[in-house]
Amino acid sequence: MSKEIVVSGIRSTGHLHLGNYFGAIQNYVLMQENYDCYFFVADYHSLTTHPDPKDLKANVFRVVAENIASGLNPDKVALYAQSDVPEIPELYLMLNMLAYVGELEKVPTFKEKVRTQPENVNAGLLTYPVLMAADILIHRAVKVPVGKDQEQHLEMARNFAVRFNNRYGNFFPEPQVFRFNNDTVKIMSLDGSGKMSKSENENNTIYLSDSDDTIRKKIMKAKTDAGPIAPNTEMPDYIQNLFLLMHLASRKEIVDIYRSQYNNCNIRYGDMKKQLAEDMAAFVRPIREHATELQKDETTLRMILKEGAEKARASASVTIEGARKLIGINYY
Ligand code: TYM
C-alpha cells in the first residue's frame, strides 16, 4: 500500500524556537517513518517582509540544519527549499484565479499585518494563504502537521482544493491538520503575551540556538505570580505553559512533585524555574551543538537541498501536468 502524503513548511525568518520544535518539527520526526513526507523551508514566504538578500542563504541553511539536528533524516524525507521547486509558484498562479480578494482580506493574520506594518501591505501578504495552499496541494498531501496558528490557512487550502475540483474535476484531496499531541499546538511566550514567535519578543522566546546560560536567564525571568491561595485552583495560562515546558523537558517524577506543590499551595516558582531551566538547557544543548556543526558543512547541506528538490520536483511535476490538462492548458 502506498504511504499517505505529508507536507509542511517553516518560514526562514529568524531562529527556530520551542514552538516550532514542539508544534511542528517533533511531529515531522515522528511521521518520517510511516508517511511519504515533504518538508520544506518557506523562503518565498519569508520575502513578504523584505529580508536583506545577504541573509537569505544563511537563514535557509540554518533552518535545514536545525531540522536535521532535531532528528529529521533527509534520506527518509524530501527536505527542500520552496524556491527550488518552480512548480509551486505555477500552481500558486493557478490557485490565485480561484481565490477571492474579499476572503483573503478577512484572514486574521493578514488583518494583523495591516495593523502592525501598515507601511508594507503588499500583495504577497494578501495571497500568503494561496502560496501556502500551493505548497500543500503541489504534492496532493492529505496530512499537514502544523501548530494552532496555521489552522485557518489550512482551512483555506481545503477551500481552494474544493473550488478547483468543482470547476475542473476531482483532482486534489482535502488536506487535514495532523498532530500526535494536542498539548503542544500553541507554546506560549514566557511572559504570557501570546504565542512564542520567531521575530517578536526575543527575550521571552527560547531558540534552539540559545546557549545554556541564555536559556537559564530567560526561564528565570518567565512570568509567574504569588502562587495559588486555594488548593487545586485552575492554573493561569502562563503557569500552565511553564508546566507544559516542564512536562516536555523534565522527568515525570519532577513534574508530579511541582504539580502536587501547586495543588497544595506550597509551590516556590523560583525553584521550579531553576529545575526547568536546567532540564530545558539539557534538552536544547544537543540540538544546538549538532546544528552548529552541520552549519559548518555547507557542501553537505547544499547536497541535501539538491536531493530534496529533486524528490519534490518529481512529485510536483506530475501534479502540475495534471492541473494544466484539467484547466485546458494542453495545446500540443
Ligand atoms: P512558521 O514558520 O511561523 O512556523 C513553523 C511551524 O511551527 C509552528 N509554530 C508553533 N507551534 C506551537 N506553538 C508556537 N508558539 C508556534 N509557533 C510556530 C507553526 O504552526 C508551523 O507549523 N506559513 C507557515 C509556513 C508554511 C507552511 C506551508 C506550513 C508555508 N507553507 C505549508 C505548512 C504547510 C509559517 O509561517 O510557519
pLDDT, residue 65, reads 98
Residue 282: domain span: 210-292
- Does one domain contain both 100 and 219? no
Confirm whether 256 is domain-assigned. yes
Starting from the edge strand earliest in sequence, which strands make up the sheet with 176-178, in order? 78-81, 36-42, 5-11, 143-145, 176-178
CA of 55 to the centre of ligand 1 (A): 20
Return all residues near 69 (Cβ < 8 A) that are at least 6 apart.
Answer: 208, 286, 287, 288, 290, 291, 294
What 3-state class would DSSP assign to 219? helix
Mean pLDDT, residues 1-30 taken together: 96
Q: Are 44 and 172 in the same domain? A: yes
Q: Answer yes or no: is 147 within a domain.
A: yes
Task: Judge if 133 and 264 occupy the same domain.
Answer: no
Q: Which residues of 122-153 are buried (b: 16+ CB within 10 A; e: fewer)?
A: eebbbbbbbbbbbbbbbbbbbbbbbbbbbeeb
Asked if residue 286 is part of any domain, the answer here is: yes
Ligand 1 pocket member 139 (CB < 6 A) = no
Percent of the chain with pLDDT over 90: 95
Ligand 1, residue 187: give the atom nearest the CA.
Answer: 13
Q: What is the mean pLDDT of residues 233-261?
A: 97
Atom of ligand 1 nearest to the CA of 150: 20
Query: Using CA atoms, how far apart are residues 5 and 76, in angstroms rounded to an integer?
Result: 13
| Catalytic residue of the set 143, 195, 223, 273 | 195
Residue 190 lies in a domain: no
Residues 179 and 279 in one domain: no
Can you count the helices (H) and strands (E) in the chain? 15, 5
- What cell numbers appear for 331 in the block? 495545446
pLDDT for residue 198:
82
Q: Are residues 84 and 42 in the same domain?
A: yes
Map 32-99 to HEC letters. CCCCEEEEEEEHHHHHHHCCCHHHHHHHHHHHHHHHHHCCCCCCCCEEEEHHHCCHHHHHHHHHHCCC
Q: Which of 22, 132, 135, 130 is nearest to 78 (CA)?
A: 135
| Residues 173 and 87 grouped into a single domain | yes
Instruction: Tell me whether residue 124 is in a domain.
Output: yes
Task: Say yes or no to pLDDT of 1 above 80.
Answer: no
Give residue 229's pLDDT: 94
Does residue 285 sit in the same domain as residue 301? no
CA–centroid distance, 253 to ligand 1, in Å, is 32
Examine the residue annotation and report whether 221 is marked as an active-site residue of this protein.
Answer: no
Q: What is the pLDDT of residues 180-231, one digit of tens each?
A: 989 888 999 999 989 998 877 899 999 999 999 999 999 999 999 999 999 9
203 belongs to a structural domain: no
| CATH assignment of the domain containing 178 | 3.40.50.620
Same domain flag for 179 and 220: no
Do 19 and 156 share a structural domain? Answer: yes
Nearest one of 193, 153, 202 to 175, comparing CA atoms: 153
11 and 127 within one domain: yes
Answer whether 37 contacts ligand 1 (Cβ < 6 A): no
307 and 169 assigned to the same domain: yes
Count the domains in the chain: 2
| CB of 279 sitting under 6 A from ligand 1 | no
Quick one: pLDDT at residue 177? 97
Q: Which residue among 149, 183, 237 is best mutated to probe the pocket of ligand 1, counting the most ligand atoms within 8 A of its Cβ?
A: 149
Indicate whether 102 and 131 sit together in one domain. Answer: yes
| SS3 category, 40 | strand
Q: Full-prediction pTM beyond 0.85?
A: yes
Residue 204 lies in a domain: no
Ligand 1 pocket, residue 140 CB under 6 Å: no
| Residue 217 to residue 274: CA distance in whole angstroms | 10
pLDDT above 70: percentage of residues in the chain? 100
- Examine residue 197 and state whether it is found in any structural domain, yes or no: no
